């Protein structure tokens, strides 16, 4: 059973930065794609960003140019650097990976952007 522990959420003012991390209990060297998702109140969970083993990245249009996803396989850790945060970025953020047909999720970390 793979466990993902995501952390780093909190409250930040609009325009501010915040960083998230996700530590996996398994070696991430051979996990092709890892990603971050988020779910705002009353909305469906949506993709934020993904990163492959070759560091190829993909971002939701709403976060392009503001968020940066990265991974450190030596530490089995994935990161999400968020800048220029907006109130609409408020959500619970989840890290995700898939091994074969099984999906694994972090427990979620709350990000609140508010003045």
Which pLDDT value is given to residue 16? 98
Q: CA-to-CA distance for 5 and 23, rounded, in angstroms?
A: 5
pLDDT above 90 covers a percentage of the chain that reads 89
Q: What would the mean pLDDT of 53-76 be, rounded to a whole number?
A: 96
The mean predicted confidence, pLDDT, of the chain is 96
Q: Model confidence over 66-92: pLDDT tens digits?
A: 999 999 999 999 999 999 999 999 999
Indicate the pLDDT class of residue 30, thresholds 50, 70 and 90.
confident
Q: What whole-number distance in Å separates Cα of residue 75 and Cα of residue 65?
A: 26
Rounded to the nearest 10 degrees, how much is the dihedral formed by the CA atoms of 20, 17, 71, 66? 130
């Amino acid at each position: 059973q793979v466990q993902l522990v995501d952390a780093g959420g909190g409250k930040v003012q609009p325009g501010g930065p915040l960083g998230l991390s996700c530590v996996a209990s398994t070696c991430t060297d051979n996990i092709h794609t890892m990603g971050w998702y988020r779910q705002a109140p009353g909305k469906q969970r949506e993709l934020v960003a993904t990163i492959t083993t070759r560091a190829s990245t993909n971002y939701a249009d709403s976060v392009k140019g503001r968020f940066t996803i990265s991974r450190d396989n030596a530490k089995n850790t994935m990161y999400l650097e968020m800048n220029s945060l907006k109130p609409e970025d408020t959500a619970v953020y989840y890290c995700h990976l898939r091994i074969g047909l099984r999906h694994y999720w972090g427990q979620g970390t709350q990000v609140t952007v508010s003045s």
